[in-house]
Amino acid sequence: MTNLSEQPRFVDPNNVECACSFYRKYLLPCRHIFLSDLLYDVLTPEHWQMYSFMFEESGFEVYEAVTKEYVQDGIYDEIGAPERRALGCKEILENLRSRYYELEEDLLERVGPEETSRQMESWLDSLRQSSQPYLTVENFDLLAQ
């Protein structure tokens, strides 16, 4: 419990955020923000409207779309790290596959089938060349050092 006599962390009224784990995890006002609000009145009706709007449209999905990533130190060396890396690789490949289909569909609409075929082959050649260092054993040995 925070002692009300302790000096609160500074909370900028124009950018109500906190570095504590509660705020980062839930994106809601924490005890530090409430203490600052109690003493300095930093939370305005606009802030409450923003918090309400954040959950009004998407509900719990707001937590799935958070872009800031806070990773515990050493998490990639713990048990299960190889599975997480494999999932990361799978995600990259899936994003690449999605991008391929998006590009092809967009090009078909804009330039027609012949030009689409030419540009997609060029894109695939570029992709092959850029991924080649990761597909050869010699380069894998260099990466492991």
Taking only the tens place, the pLDDT of each residue in 102-124 is 899 999 999 999 999 999 999 99
pLDDT digits over 66-100, tens only?
A: 544 444 445 555 667 777 888 888 888 888 888 88
What does DSSP assign to residue 9? P
Number of Cβ within 10 Å of residue 27's Cβ equals 15
Final residue in a domain of this structure, among 70, 99, 116: 70
Number of domains observed in the structure of the chain: 2
Q: Is residue 98 part of a domain?
A: yes
pLDDT at 90: 87
Residues 6+ apart with CB under 8 A from 133: 139
Q: What are 15's strand-pairing partners?
A: 12
Burial of 105 (0-12, 13-18, 19+ CB in 10 A): exposed
Under the banding of pLDDT at 50, 70 and 90, the label for residue 9 is low
pLDDT of 24 higher than 70: yes
**44 and 83 both lie in a single domain:** no
pLDDT of 62 higher than 80: no
**58 and 96 both lie in a single domain:** no
Q: Is residue 142 part of a domain?
A: no
pLDDT at 5: 54
Final residue in a domain of this structure, among 70, 92, 116: 70
Longest alpha-carbon distance in the chain: 73
Which is more confidently placed, 25 or 124?
A: 124
Give kind and range of the element (H or E) at residue 53.
helix 45-58
pLDDT of 7 higher than 50: yes
For the segment 52-65, the average pLDDT, to the nearest whole number, is 68
For the segment 61-70, the average pLDDT, to the nearest whole number, is 53
pLDDT at 1: 45
CA separation for the pair 83, 64 (Å, rounded):
20
pLDDT at 61: 67
Average pLDDT, the chain: 77
What are the E-state strand segments in 41-116? none
